[in-house]
Structure 1
Amino acid sequence: MSNQQAVEMYRFHNWANETIFKRLKELPESVYRQEMTSVFPTVAKLMAHIYFVDLCWIYILEGVDMRKATVDALSRQEEIEKLSLEELEASYRQVSRRYEEWIAQGQDLDQRFMLDNPYTRKRDTSYAEVLFQVANHGTYHRGNLSAMLRQIGQSSVMTEYALYWYNE
């Protein structure tokens, strides 16, 4: 995997999230907090989860230990879950800018570091792999979101990587 591929996958992730925010703002406001029996109890909690994980990983890329990054990100969970869709979108944009600033520093994405994951074990990984993980995690949960929206009679929006190619 090249450094450029990793950056491009992150940028796809960001584009896909922006596409989802745009779609969610087109739906009735009640959809965002509508309770359902699904992967997440509400769309708001799912979107907050994507945000938390992105926040956790940027902390790690910036040099924070994963245990501390996880605690710091999750300490804001209740606060973030209460934000309106527009407020969460603004918070997401701030995190996205941090990623772009980190990328702009010219990091060697092949650089390896020890990731001490409190949910599993230590692993030697690279910055590029982290960017792929961020994109993959978002893709997984955007799929959950599409299913949740269909479950309540709403349509989602396509966020496929190939569509991103044509929207650059």
Structure 2
Amino acid sequence: MSNHVITMYDYHVWANQTLINRLKEVPRELYTQEMKSVFPTIAKTLVHVYLVDSTWIEIMKGAEMKDAMAANLSQMEQLEAKTLEELEVFFHEVAQKYRGFISAHDDLDQTIVLDNPYTRVRETSYTEILMNIITHATYHRGNISAMLRQADYASTMTDYALYWYANE
């Protein structure tokens, strides 16, 4: 089993929580304040990250991609209405699903057939999927950092190198 991808997944969880902790320190109205960015609010950005994580774990557990996407996207409006603390619980729950999946699979390099409705069918390993969710969230945590700065608030560092020292 690839220990590196497991470490990277742990980093992903740590970085999400680190950012959530920072968001708890800024005024509440900033969470839903509209601004010019990839998504119009921090809330919508975080919900997107959660929905992507939630969709991929269902795919890894055997759901068809189009079905997992539809099921998770149907929750978008309800999730966007949640408070930061309520969404934090959802992040914790999806992380537990991933940890359960990872601990139950000795070979994360095993491949599955992925029928992506946006592109085509291909074989994809669990490791590739994990790296996809990690890099996807990293990109959007950067969006949120930029949104915080746009609103004149400092963000927080979520660099992988900082994770090394925070978890020694």
Amino acid at match of 1:17: N
Aligned residue pairs: how many?
A: 167
1:6 CA drift (Å)? 1.2
* Structure 2 residue 46 is matched with structure 1 residue 47: yes
Q: Structure 2 CA distance, aligned partners of 1:107 and 1:78?
A: 37
1:133 CA drift (Å)? 0.5
1:136-147 to structure 2, matched below 5 A, reads 136-147=135-146
Tell me the residue number matched to 1:108: 107
Q: Structure 2 CA distance, aligned partners of 1:48 and 1:3?
A: 29
Tell me the residue number matched to 1:79: 78
Amino acid at match of 1:49: H
Structure 1 gap segments, 5+ residues each: none
Tell me the residue number matched to 1:99: 98
* Structure 2 residue 123 is matched with structure 1 residue 124: yes
Secondary structure of 1:26 counterpart: coil
Tell me the residue number matched to 1:63: 62
1:96 CA drift (Å)? 0.7
TM-score normalised per structure 2: 0.96
Residues 60-83 of structure 1: per-residue CA shift (max 9 Å, x gap): 111111111101110100111110
TM-score normalised per structure 1: 0.96
Tell me the residue number matched to 1:164: 163
Q: Structure 2 CA distance, aligned partners of 1:148 and 1:110?
A: 36
Secondary structure of 2:93 counterpart: helix
Amino acid at match of 1:99: Y
Secondary structure of 2:38 counterpart: coil
1:155 CA drift (Å)? 1.0
Q: Structure 2 CA distance, aligned partners of 1:55 and 1:29?
A: 25
Where has structure 1 moved over 2 Å in runs of 4 or more?
none
* Structure 2 residue 17 is matched with structure 1 residue 8: no
Amino acid at match of 1:6: V
Residues 33-62 of structure 1: per-residue CA shift (max 9 Å, x gap): 111121111000000000000000110111
Percentage of matched positions with identical amino acids: 50
1:106 CA drift (Å)? 2.9
